[in-house]
Structure 1
């Protein structure tokens, strides 16, 4: 029977894990701040510059009846400016927001499916109009969970289920999104740095994370089931701006 590690080594390992968890949380905060700023810039471009360009095009319209060469050139340059602005908006806006949450999660499941791991996705909705911060946050959570399953769990099957609940009820709850990720692998280490990372992402969405035993695992134990609840409506202090398509 192997001897346990000395207390000093266990303490060092614990401190190292805590340090990695803090660093992972710091990097997530930076990532979220950068993304929020990109969304804000895209919104400003759309609302301010986009509105001004459209107003200018309307003001130019009477000059095109009949059009002089100078007016036609000005109109062409204006169209090019509008196209350039739309290109900048597409670069600032994550493509997952245009796909929508349901389609993006399906794509994620397809991407992680391999000869050794089958990933299945289902939802009670064909489309879900979630806020940008919620959409991106849940996608990151699911991507990280699937990466953990693929790397560490030894699982053969992973199931992802997204459910939208209606607002109301006796408690007057707002509409919620429930994300369930279950696998039949060797289980889940609650003290692992990636576990802290997922928990931090859920907290940043004002959500709740629960861990349960999953289906019978490939290592003789139980697999893992992550159950995540997040509100669809976000407070003004947390929500990033919605980008008009």
Structure 2
């Protein structure tokens, strides 16, 4: 008997058997790995499909809820729609009216600002009547040089004072840049307070705002006739 044999088989036979077993084991391992991979992939796909189904369901439910809310809101809006529109219309009308009034006021203010100062015939007569009752005082009606608007206004005042028997002297070459109308005297001249207040009131009665000023010696020669003591002057400066 050959002692080199095992169970009647040689080493070559056992080597072949080992290789065959290893091949079978590798094949089984591949089958297990393939089955495992297939199971994992299948499970993932099923989970993804289930997640998509859940998202579609949630989206559908959310849409239905939103539609229900919208329907409820629209129903509420329709119920009070007429009152709401009426209130909004009234609010817009009030806003337009306010804007119109503000625009009108602005336009009137602009018109007053750009219109030249003039004394109407009615106001000229009214001023003359008041002046005639005050008693006269020597007065010069003074306007600025190169100021046609102020010169025309001063001419109107000159006519009113003349009609009131004040015998004004008209001067047209004052070189100062004062604005507005002022009742003036040369420094050192005094007038009774009641008289000056009455003159200011008379001018105010026809819409002319006048202030009281004193002409200093430094400004005495700002007209060709020069300002004189014991005289009264009505200075018509530039339009304010």
TM-score (norm 1): 0.23
TM-score by length of 2: 0.23
Q: Is the strand fraction higher in 1 or 2? A: 1
